[in-house]
Amino acid sequence: MSAALTLVLIVAVAYLATHLAFDWIARRLLIVSGAEYLVLGILLGPQVSGILTGDTLDSFAPFTTLALGWIGAIVGMQFFLPNLVRIRGIVFRLAFVEAILTLTFVGGLLTVAMAWMLDMSYVQAAFPGLAMGAIATVSAPTGIQVVASRIGRRHPVVHQLEVTSALDAAVAIAAIGILLCIGHPSPIGIARPLTSTEWAVVTLGIGVIGGVLFHLFLGEERDIDRLFISLAGAIILTSGAAAYLSLSPLLPALIVGAVLVNTSDNREEIERTLLTAERPFYFVLLIFAGATWEPSLRSWALPVLLFLAARGVGKIGGARLATRFSDEKEALGLDWGRALLGQGGLAIAIGLDYLQHGRLAVPNLVFTAAVASVLLTDLSSARLVRSVVMPFVTRDMGPEIARTLAEPGRKEADAPATDGDVASPDPSPDPTLEATTGAAPDDATGGNR
């Protein structure tokens, strides 16, 4: 089978799964789909069946780069400044503290552990350690959105979770982008190689130039098909330029998304176009990621298990510490970090981004940690969110209304009205911003698009 036909079949399967199965399964069974495509990729890959060979995967590298850029652009589209300024400062502070604590705790612990277990220097171990810290920071928004579609987005816990998942994504992408700048190889034949700071400036410059350039091309365009072509061109240009320079395509694409959403009059059409293609890109990326995976569980079991345990401690403990020193304990409780344990596509994207830069230490170990975390948490992410949110809904709205909202198939618009306006209908469509981005579908603000 030719590589082109294989790609067409994979995209077709992902497209059909997106439109026929994803929403129904999430709504009826409270199960967020995604991990099964990762398993499918493992089965199709050279490690099992060999249907997708190494040469085939190499030929799909540009498509993988486009998928990474698309994910980054969707994350950037959340940061619409007029909506951001309406969020209370304490919500941002709690989200940012949780993200930084998780990043530093997991990154620091894994750096020390891998230096000891794998007999590396601390400098060598810092790269995979911080990459795993970035992966640990990511929280899948899909489970949050599935639950929010039932009970409404105005409840303080739901709003905090949506903002936190968006900031988690931004912090994680920034961390991996800067990390790859620090570990950038010195090109051969250059009299004075660029410093890490200069590579970071180049990364940001690619994003800013790409966003400004394609803002001029997009103009007042409203046609979805033309917008799709223009956005694909913008993302291909920025992510391709970053990949060519051995930089992360996620960070420049995030900047492109943020620039476009804040400078274009057709913001809603651009965002709708990105979201329409987001899930097929996500599922195809999961399949390619599974096929790329080269496990070596015997030698990596301890670091991966330590990563999984450290991430749980970092997420729950970081949220608990951030809340304990604020005035939000009554509204949020201390255990809302448990709702952030789900992981999805952005974790895979960061792991794959690190894997593609094989010059850094133990890339397959970092990618294995991302795969293991997604496989263990993806299917349960919505149920984890519900276990955190429903006690507050029961307290604020009463057990009868809470049970009604928790019924399978219940949508937010069907929720009974209450004095607290917790279940206010959201007129926006239901484009769940997949865990691939680590972003919420309603801007980072949780407000309506």
pLDDT band at residue 14 under the 50/70/90 scheme: low
- Which span out of 201-210, 259-268, 317-326, 333-342 was modeled with the highest average pLDDT? 201-210
- Which span out of 31-40, 108-117, 359-368, 382-391 was modeled with the highest average pLDDT? 108-117
Average pLDDT, the chain: 78
The reported pTM is 0.82
Q: Which ranges of 342-441 would DSSP assign to H, the alpha helix?
A: 345-356, 363-377, 381-397, 399-405
pLDDT at 433: 36
User: How far is Cα 261 from Cα 187, in angstroms, rounded to an integer?
Assistant: 35
- Which span out of 24-33, 409-418, 435-444 was modeled with the highest average pLDDT? 24-33
pLDDT in tens, 296-349: 656 678 889 999 999 999 999 999 998 988 877 877 888 888 889 988 789 989
Cα distances (angstroms) measured from residue 285 to each of 132, 247, 260, 278: 19, 19, 24, 10
DSSP string, 270-324: HHHHHHHTHHHHHHHHHHHHHHH----HHHHHHHHHHHHHHHHHHHHHHHHHHHH
For the ranges 140-149, 338-347, 398-407, the lowest mean pLDDT is seen at: 398-407
User: Which tokens sit at 130?
Assistant: 């911080």
For the ranges 82-86, 389-393, 431-435, the lowest mean pLDDT is seen at: 431-435
Query: CB–CB of 66/236 below 8 Å?
Result: yes
Angle between helices 142-151 and 381-397 in degrees, nearest 10: 30
Query: CB–CB of 260/72 below 8 Å?
Result: no
Taking residues 154-168, what's their average pLDDT?
Answer: 88
pLDDT band at residue 165 under the 50/70/90 scheme: very high
Residue with the larger pLDDT of the pair 411 and 67: 67
User: How far is Cα 407 from Cα 437, in angstroms, rounded to an integer?
Assistant: 28
Cα distances (angstroms) measured from residue 143 to each of 18, 122, 277, 366, 384: 16, 36, 19, 24, 8
User: How far is Cα 17 from Cα 199, in angstroms, rounded to an integer?
Assistant: 39
pLDDT at 428: 36
Q: Which residues contact 18 (CB under 8 A, 6 or more apart)?
A: 279, 280, 283
